[in-house]
A and B are shown apart, each in its own frame.
Chain A
Amino acid sequence: MTQVELIALAYQFGLAVAFLILSAAGLAVIFGMMGIVNMAHGELIMIGAYGTSIANRHGLPLVLAALCGVLASTATGVLLERTVIRRFYDRPSESLVMTWAIGLFISQAALIVFGPSLPSISSPLGSVAFGGFSLSIYGLLLIAFGLAVPVAIYLLLSTTTFGLHARATMQNVEVARAIGINSGSVYSATFALGAGLAGLAGALYAPTMSAVPNMGGSFIVQAFVTVVTGGGNLVYGTLPAAAGLGLVQTALTAVFGNLVGVLGLLAAVIVSAKLFPNGLAHRLSGKRFS
């Protein structure tokens, strides 16, 4: 294998890992902290992409438009948490059904309001040629974001007061409450953060795919797969899980094609669920957050 081919393959691998991390980040934060499986995750991603696309069409530069997308999904997250989600904190399976219904509502409402698709944004930044193979600069940016998001969340949790309160709430809600932490507002902030991260994924991938109401579906499987494999911790769980799954998918896709890549991904999940029933994070760190 020549050097060019090797770099091309590494680039594919990076893209696959970044996709897994970015699509899973919001889900992992909410699941890890609150034990809630947010089935409306894909629709929050869709809101992020729609916000970006609409703001961009109204003349905002892409960076600001992406910010609008993230704000839109965060606002939706806050609204959902205030009205519905907070009633379901200690009922994981009801919350799953509930968030599924919310997701269905959002995607169908988007279909009614915005029609079957939005005009697509052109991919920015162009590409660099590399020995007969061209790397998209935007793709490299996505890879950078994929690495930056877990690091940023890690710093948020380990250095800020919010992080301290969040970790305390997660370890033991009763004790956290007893020493004066407002667990309700920690949960609200966590859900908003998760929704915002979902929106970020949508905003970042908006220029690379067509904006349709059920576009969340193309993220959600990978997101679940990564969170199930990794557990709720972004640094100890999502990152290594995404790396492992990305490797499996890239290798299988390169050799056998796309279908075997996706099926291999799902098979890897089942095997890993058997090997690490509590998620990789549990195995790597001994607890869910360090």
Chain B
Amino acid sequence: MRSVLRLLEGDQTIGRGLPFWGLMSLLFAGALAFGVTAGSFAVENCSYFLVWVFMALGLAFMWGLGGTMSFGQTAFFGIGGYCYAILSTNWGVESGLTMAAALLSLAAVALSAAVLGYFVFFGGINGVLVSITTLAVTLGLETFLSQTAGPKWAIGRAELGGFNGISSMPPLTVPWHGDNVEITGRSLYFGLIIFVAITYLALRILANSKVGDAMVAVRESPLRAEALGYDVKAILFVGFVVGSVLAGLSGLLYAGWGQYISPDTMGLSAAALPIIWVAVSGKDLTATMVGTVVLLGLSQALAIYGSQYALVSLALILVVSIMGCPKGVFETLLRRIDSIGGPGDQNSKPVRKSSLDRSEVLL
């Protein structure tokens, strides 16, 4: 147990020592306090932000550590959301069946991620082509679901609904003394805060374990990692499936939060959003977790002036922040905070890329 907890800090994650964990605890306590004191609309709105954090963390994990930039996050988000919608519409809320629907949806996401990951990584696709292949899958799924209007596209009692998607499925419920308690509003918010915290800590442990080290070795040079005896394809595959399942978790939580899911969540612009969050925040887990919530809040605040103005400003922020802060805004900030706490981590000097790596990328 102690050896597992020691992995909370390490070379693959930023943040160590008392100042960092003190700050994180303050953040956690602040988030809980917000849930108690803020109005119910603000709390529900914050739940909406938190729902997306899992997907962003999943991408930060597979991209930041393993170097796999997947456009498939929203595809798995959609699969998770649609599976939950279909299952819970058919099964209803009796005796905790929504939880069973949620778990089964996650299993479906894991299975589809494994199938796609098998084709991509064991098929020998690499580099930028992985991104484009996953993009093709995402757009294919969107195209398919967009035309599923009408009663002939129904699974049991759930009509897929084409462009409009599925709505009014039940929210997540827990059976409690013979009653079914709906997890909405404040209870959903607290559940999400705790779930985000658990996911974040678990990913930190995974990142600093041997799995994370192997993923970084593959990212830096697949050739070198293979020569050292690592199974490159299997490592990339594992990272991809872990990240994709987290995207599916976001999807089913989104469906449970808004009781609504539509093909829009998988379009070209939606598919790029998680990549934007991670790229602007920095590919570190902490940076992504904080950055995703901030960016979502920012784009919502800008949307008051009309969605086209929000998107134009968002695009400008993105261009400026990547040019000015190539490592990500929040990652740069975090490194500052980290260096206050101690002499800084001397172990993780940036690895210089050799020209060999670059020619591989071009190929």
Contacts and interface: CB of A to CB of B under 8 A. Distances in A.
A35 interface: yes
Nearest to B310: A108
A37 B315 CA distance: 18
B133 A273 contact: yes
Contacts of B279: 94, 97
B312 interface: yes
A274 B132 CA distance: 13
Contact of A277 (B126, B147, B315, B326): B126
A93 interface: yes
A91 B132 CA distance: 16
Given A93-B128, A97-B275, A266 B140 contact: yes
A269 B133 contact: yes
B319 A102 contact: yes
A82 interface: no
B120 to A, nearest CB: 8
A109 interface: yes
B309 interface: yes
B301 interface: no
B127 A270 contact: no
B272 interface: yes
Given A35-B362, A277-B123, A263 B131 contact: no
B276 interface: yes
A98 interface: yes
Given A228-B132, A270-B119, A273-B123, A105 B312 contact: yes
B319 A174 contact: no
Nearest to B271: A100
A79 interface: no
Interface in A229-265: 259, 262-263
A287 B318 CA distance: 36
A101 B319 CA distance: 7
Contacts of B312: 104-105, 108-109, 112
A262 B141 CA distance: 11
A5 interface: no
A217 interface: yes
* Secondary structure dominating the interface of A: helix
Interface residues of B, number: 45
Nearest to A170: B362
A137 B358 CA distance: 47
* Residue among A90, A262, A266 facing the most chain B CB atoms (10 A cut-off): A266
B93 interface: no
B261 to A, nearest CB: 20
A35 B319 CA distance: 20
Interface string B156-179: 000000000000000000000000
B232 to A, nearest CB: 14
B308 A221 contact: no
A278 B363 contact: yes
B276 A97 contact: yes
Nearest to A33: B362
Contacts of A96: 69, 128, 131, 275
Contacts of A105: 311-312, 315-316, 319
Interface in A50-95: 84, 87, 90-94
A172 to B, nearest CB: 8
A111 interface: yes
A46 to B, nearest CB: 13
B136 A224 contact: yes
A225 interface: yes
B69 A102 contact: no
* Residue among B119, B144, B276, B308 facing the most chain A CB atoms (10 A cut-off): B308
A93 B119 contact: no
A225 B140 CA distance: 11
B139 A108 contact: no
Interface in A103-141: 104-105, 108-109, 111-112
A31 B131 CA distance: 14
A112 B311 CA distance: 11
Nearest to A269: B136
B133 A104 contact: no
Given A90-B358, A105-B315, A112-B309, A228 B136 contact: yes
B295 interface: no
Interface string B127-157: 1110111011101100110010000000000
A87 B323 CA distance: 8
Contacts of B363: 278
Contacts of A92: 127-128, 361
B147 A259 contact: yes
B244 to A, nearest CB: 16
Contacts of B144: 259, 263
Interface string B109-126: 000000000011001111
Nearest to B279: A97
Given A108-B309, A266-B137, A273-B119, 12 more contacts: A35-B128, A84-B319, A93-B63, A97-B275, A98-B319, A105-B312, A105-B315, A109-B312, A112-B308, A262-B143, A269-B136, A270-B133
Interface of B: 63, 69, 119-120, 123-129, 131-133, 135-137, 139-140, 143-144, 147, 268-269, 272, 275-276, 279, 308-309, 311-312, 314-316, 318-319, 322-323, 326, 355, 358, 361-363
Sorted from nearest, which 8 A-B pairs have the closest CB atoms? A274-B123, A105-B315, A266-B140, A101-B318, A35-B362, A277-B124, A104-B315, A108-B311
26 contacts: A35-B361, A35-B362, A39-B272, A84-B319, A84-B323, A90-B358, A92-B361, A93-B63, A93-B131, A94-B322, A97-B322, A98-B319, A100-B272, A101-B315, A105-B312, A105-B319, A108-B315, A221-B268, A228-B136, A259-B147, A266-B136, A269-B133, A270-B136, A270-B137, A277-B125, A278-B363
Interface of A: 31, 35, 37, 39, 84, 87, 90-94, 96-98, 100-102, 104-105, 108-109, 111-112, 174, 217, 220-221, 224-225, 227-228, 259, 262-263, 266-267, 269-270, 273-274, 277-278
